[in-house]
Amino acid sequence: MPTYIVQFSNFNLSQKQKNSLANDISNTHSKFTGANSFFAQVIFQKNKKNSHFMGGKLVKTKEIFLNGQIRAGRTPKVKKQLILGLRKVLIKNTNLKKDFVWVYLEDLLPDQMIEYGEVLPKSGQEKKWFNSLTPSLKKRLKKMEKR
């Protein structure tokens, strides 16, 4: 499951913005990787006041940082499209200029990840993995799938 952690400093995100960001991040991941949207989770963390530093100096500007842990195996082209798409999502939903937006992607080996209690498939093997799941888990995941 790609896990996207959105950290932000010196401003607040409304619940509406969080909902929109979570939806847009999940859809962007699905669009560029081909993975089902139920694989994507988004976690929001506001940095406490006076707790964000760059170059040893306190950050006073509004900043947003998205760290995405994704399954390894995507091509450089797909990852570039994904990272640019995610930057666009952050800008659209926060109205921050791109100089205040950070996006990092980290590749994790699928066989070193367990989600929904099962070792993850290699990229492109999602359908086979899904078909091997229990009927109750399939039903649960289908309910989460974006339409």
- Please give the pLDDT value at position 24: 97
CATH number for the domain harbouring residue 11: 3.30.429.10
Domain count, the chain: 1
Q: Residues with Cβ < 8 Å from 4, sequence gap 6 or more?
A: 25, 29, 40, 41, 42, 43, 66, 67, 68, 69, 86
- Please give the pLDDT value at position 122: 82
Q: Is 18 helix (H, G, I), strand (E, B) or coil?
A: helix
What are the mean pLDDT values of the chain's consecutive 10-residue runs (147 residues total)?
A: 94 98 95 85 97 96 97 92 98 97 94 86 83 90 73
pTM, rounded to two decimals: 0.85
- Please give the pLDDT value at position 143: 84
Q: Which residue range is the domain that position 50 belongs to?
A: 3-144
